[in-house]
Amino acid sequence: MSLFDKVFNTLVIEGNERTAKQMAAFYNSTPASIKARISEIRTQKGYAVYANKHTDSQGRTVTKYRVGTPRKAVVAAGYRALAAGLV
C-alpha cells in the first residue's frame, strides 16, 4: 500500500484526526511527505482536509489534520470557478 493510500485511509476512511508528525512516525516517513500527500488528497481527490491548530498541555502548538464538510460558501465558490472556466 502506498503512503498516499495510508494517509487517505487514516483521514478519510477511518475519520481520524492526526498530526503530520504522528502519521510520519507511524508510517516511517517524514512530516513533509505526509503534508504533500494531504495536499494531493485535497487537490486530486477533492476532499476538504482541515488543518486545525491545537495547544497541548505543555503549551506547544500543533496542527492536526481531519476531513470535514466544507461550508456552503466554499462549494459555491468552486461552482463559480468552474462556470467561469477558471478550473
Residue 67 has pLDDT above 90, yes or no: yes
Q: Count Cβ atoms within 10 A of the Cβ of residue 82 and give its class: 0-12 exposed, 13-18 middle, 19 or more buried.
A: exposed
Parent domain of 60? 3-83
CATH number, residue 45: 1.10.10.10
Q: Give the model's pLDDT for residue 24.
A: 97
Whole-model pTM over 0.75: yes
CA distances to 21, 29, 51, 62, 65 from 59, rounded to whole Å, are 17, 26, 18, 10, 19
The total of structural domains in the chain comes to 1
**Which helix or strand (DSSP H or E) is residue 84 part of?**
none
Q: Which residues pair with 63 in a beta bridge?
A: 53
| CA–CA distance, 33 with 23 (Å, rounded to integer) | 10
Render pLDDT for 36-65 as a digit per residue (tens, 0 to 9): 999 999 999 999 999 999 998 899 999 999
